[in-house]
Amino acid sequence: MAYITYQQYLDLYGTCPISEEEFPVYAGLASDMIDSITRYRIVEGGGISALPSILQTLVQKAAAAQVLYFTQIGLETVLTGQAGQSFTVGKVSVSGGALSSTTTKPGALMVSPFALSLLEQTPLMERGVHVCSDRFLNPFWGI
């Protein structure tokens, strides 16, 4: 299930660069990406509705940012990790810019920087390992 609806996307960003019929594909992929980033803590915790409202809002905003990123960068570039390097037509030469950098890892092309910054404000991105002897357990340990 997608974490964002077409109407929620319109409320956040106004007009949508893709049609309402195409939106569920982009929203589903964006939600899958968020699940991957958060190590499936949302799914394991009972879904987005089980989260506190502030976390629900941040996850929905991150999903919307990821959908926008997919539409701007292109699904082919994001899903394959391959950006066009450069090409020349006549006297005009175009290079891929930052996306074609050899130092950029293909995985870095997949995630919206804005979505990451939103999710980093939540405990869903925490990478710590909890042990039974932790004196002060994180309240979101089960997520």
What is the per-residue DSSP string for 94-117?
EE-GGGG-TTS-GGGGTS-HHHHH
pLDDT above 60 (res 135): no
What are phi and psi for residue 95, nearest 5 degrees? -110, 160
Proportion of the chain above pLDDT 90, given as a percent: 47
Give the residues across from 95 on adjacent strands: 86
Report pLDDT for 33: 92
Mean pLDDT, residues 83-87: 61
- Contact between 90 and 102 under an 8 Å Cβ cutoff? The reply is no
pLDDT above 90 (res 84): no
pLDDT above 90 (res 99): no
Residue 51 in tokens: 């989260």
Residues 6+ apart with CB under 8 A from 105: none
Query: Residue 89 — pLDDT band, cuts 50, 70, 90?
Result: confident
Residue 52 in tokens: 């506190």
Q: Residue 25 in 3-state DSSP?
A: helix
Query: Residue 134 — pLDDT band, cuts 50, 70, 90?
Result: low
Q: What are the residue ranges spanned by the domains of the chain? A: 6-99+106-125
Q: How many CA atoms lie within 13 A of 18 on its CB side?
A: 21
Q: Give the C-alpha distances (Å, rounded to integers) separating 44 from 68, 110, 124.
A: 26, 23, 11
Q: Give the span between the Cα atoms of 6 and 47, in whole angstroms.
A: 19
